[in-house]
Amino acid sequence: MFWNKKIILPLISGLFLSGIALYVVFRNIPMHELVDYLKTVNYWWVIPSSAVILLGFVIRVVRWQLLLSPFKKTDFSSAYHPLMIGFMLNCILPARIGEVARPAIFYKREGVAFSKVLATVGAERVFDVLVLLISFVIVLACVEISPTLDLTFGEYHLNKATLERVGVTTLRLCLGLMVCIALVSVKQSHRFIRRAILSLPRLLLFARSSFKEKVRERLCVRLVRIFDNLAAGFDILKSPKKVALCLGLSFVAWAVGGFSYYVMSLGCPGIELSFLEMYAMMVILCFFIALPSAPGFWGIWEAGGVFALLIFGVAKKEALGFTLANHVIQMLPVIVVGLISAIITGVNVVQVAYTSTEDPPGEEGAKI
């Protein structure tokens, strides 16, 4: 069945947190007031905002092409369709399945090893986290956050101290990930890890030699192959020029994303913030949606958006109205374009989502 335990557990925890978040952000806002506010929004601004959103994904495709270049020179459309399908699946399914579905699609269409492509997605996340951390430091330095601001979120209190703790935790995770990438990429440590994996059967002290050899051939050799492919996926990080280019594209992609928030805010009464303030709102919101949530980040997105806008003195009704409208607008173009990409490429979205929850595909495979 599609809904296996790898999806059910994240879904249950996500629904729980999302339910708490929805209760928190809606409990003091009468529904009729929220509906009245949404009626005052100038939805013509959806068109330019959606165009800016899709432009941001074009930049992400260019960055992914660069990350894929050590394995295969990929044309724009070959990278664009898997990326959009992956992000579309992230919007409608739990557990961020799209992060695994994207390399699965690319692997089956282009013949590049799944683990190599998966490593490029991991490298993307490294760049994204670095940009978010740098942006977060700028936000804390340039944006005045009232020390008395406090938003109750279940058993948690969201305030300036919470933001600082989240930033420190994210920084530690990022540093840990960078250390792991360094261990995988450096030749000496790479060789040591390979030898350690191949030597694992020796730990089976009382097993027969024939059994040890089977373990080595059927498990260890396969693990080494996957490990080598992952290491190859991070090869681009050895080039300072390409790293600088990827980092630059990441900053541009996030700036464009922030601009899409700002454009939409122009059509929302009561949201009179500068581009820098809207960018700060997006950065804070991104830390929230890193938490487990329902498909589409519902609830968690609203809690993060309302909290961020309260920092800048926006009334709660206007903050919730804008966050709800912007949430739909941020996701709808991605879902629509992702579905169009699936139709164009002939990808069975349900099948891809299902197989992405199973063991990663091997090095050989048929086209989707």
Query: Where do runs of H (alpha helix) occur along 297-315?
Result: 300-311
- Cα–Cα nearest to 262, from 67, 10, 49: 49
More confident residue, 82 or 204: 82
Model confidence pTM above 0.85: no
pLDDT at 4 over 60: no
User: How do residues 348-365 score in pLDDT, each as one tens digit?
Assistant: 776 666 665 554 555 544
CA dist 77 and 340 (Å) reads 13
Tokens of 235: 């090869």
More confident residue, 5 or 212: 212
User: How do residues 9-58 score in pLDDT, each as one tens digit?
Assistant: 554 554 555 566 555 555 656 677 778 888 999 999 999 999 999 999 99
Residue 294 has what pLDDT? Answer: 66
Tokens of 332: 């709808």
User: How do residues 107-151 score in pLDDT, each as one tens digit?
Assistant: 888 888 888 888 888 888 888 988 988 888 777 777 776 666 676
Q: What percent of the chain has pLDDT over 90?
A: 27
* Sequence letter at residue 313: G
Contact 101, 352 (CB under 8 A): yes
- Cα–Cα nearest to 290, from 8, 17, 3, 5: 17
Tokens of 141: 């330095």
User: How do residues 247-281 score in pLDDT, each as one tens digit?
Assistant: 899 999 999 999 999 999 999 999 999 998 899 89
What's the rounded mean pLDDT across residues 66-90?
91
